[in-house]
């Protein structure tokens, strides 16, 4: 919601409080806009952009608002301006469906080209868009191994060490006095990190959901929740007050 509000404003320099974390010995910064930045390698990770989600639904007869791509790209621009990364990794489900990138309206294509100028851009394939992208800058891949970390869309059950993954759209719920707040979050136990969904018209899946079972060492699991202009870091065991 707060990111949506940003998306409808002019891009400016937002003051924001990020949270530092360490994944498999690599230092990383959780940005409240939903991106992960690795200062050492100047690498920026975003996951689950789900671009053209509205259009994907419209193709099936549900005429959702056509503003999601525009809004997501605006926030992406803000986070790229903030960190000026050398490499951008988009961690899969970049588009909501297979034909999304082929049907992408020209203005959005131009915007992505502008954002990618002077940087390396890697599109990791996701389950929604397994065939890669059409006519966009950068290259497509199923996985990326770089700087001691493994970047892939779906978390693997075998090797947690140093894995940065997306796919599950993690969200955490804080409960205090019988009331609940739910926010998208980065979830990490120090070995693996799950990225929040960056797309502005995406839902979230609670960390307690069975799809998350077995991915984390729960005593060490921390949810870095996205706040308006800061990250709130809460231990898994403290989510319910």
Segment contacting other proteins (CB under 8 A): 136-144, 145-153, 156-164, 166-174? 166-174
Contact between 180 and other proteins per CB under 8 A: yes
**Residues in contact with 152: Cβ distance below 8 Å, sequence separation at least 6, in sequence order:** 91, 92, 124, 142, 143, 144, 163, 164, 165
Segment contacting other proteins (CB under 8 A): 31-39, 63-71, 132-140, 143-151? 63-71
Contact between 71 and other proteins per CB under 8 A: yes
Task: Say how many C-beta atoms besides its own lie within 10 A of residue 177's C-beta.
Answer: 6
CB of 201 to other proteins, least distance (A): 5
**Residues in contact with 6: Cβ distance below 8 Å, sequence separation at least 6, in sequence order:** 14, 33, 74, 75, 78
Residue 208 tokens read as: 């307690």
Contact between 58 and other proteins per CB under 8 A: yes
The DSSP element (H or E) to which 142 belongs, if any, is: none
Do residues 204 and 240 touch, judged by C-beta distance below 8 A? Answer: no
Segment contacting other proteins (CB under 8 A): 32-40, 68-76, 81-89, 134-142? 68-76
Contact between 130 and other proteins per CB under 8 A: no
Site string for other proteins, 36-55 (x = CB under 8 A): -----------------x-x
Please tell me whether residue 156 adopts helix, strand or coil conformation. coil
Do residues 92 and 153 touch, judged by C-beta distance below 8 A? Answer: yes
List residues binding other proteins (CB under 8 A).
1, 4-5, 7-8, 19, 21, 53, 55, 57-59, 61-68, 70-71, 105, 127, 168-169, 173-182, 197, 200-205, 209-211, 222, 225, 227, 232-235, 238, 240-241
């Amino acid at each position: 919601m707060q990111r949506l509000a940003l998306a409808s404003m002019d891009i400016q320099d937002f003051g924001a409080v990020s949270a530092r974390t360490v994944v498999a010995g690599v230092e990383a910064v959780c940005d409240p806009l939903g991106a992960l930045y690795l200062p050492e390698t100047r690498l920026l990770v975003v996951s689950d952009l789900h671009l053209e989600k509205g259009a994907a639904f419209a193709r099936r007869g549900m005429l959702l608002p056509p503003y999601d791509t525009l809004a997501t790209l605006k926030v992406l621009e803000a986070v790229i301006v903030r960190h000026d990364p050398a490499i951008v990794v988009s961690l899969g489900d970049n588009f909501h469906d297979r034909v999304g990138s082929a049907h992408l309206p020209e203005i959005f294509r131009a915007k992505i080209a502008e954002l990618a100028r002077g940087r390396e851009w890697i599109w990791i394939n996701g389950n929604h868009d397994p065939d890669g992208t059409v006519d966009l800058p950068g290259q497509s891949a199923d996985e990326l191994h770089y700087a001691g970390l493994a970047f892939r869309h779906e978390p693997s059950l075998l090797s947690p060490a140093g894995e940065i993954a997306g796919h599950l759209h993690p969200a955490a719920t804080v409960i205090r006095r019988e009331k609940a707040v739910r926010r998208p979050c980065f979830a990490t136990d120090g070995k693996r990190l799950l990225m929040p969904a960056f797309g502005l018209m995406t839902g979230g899946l609670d960390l307690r959901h069975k799809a998350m079972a077995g991915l984390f060492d729960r005593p060490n699991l921390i949810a870095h929740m996205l706040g308006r202009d800061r990250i709130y870091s809460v231990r898994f065991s403290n989510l319910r007050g």
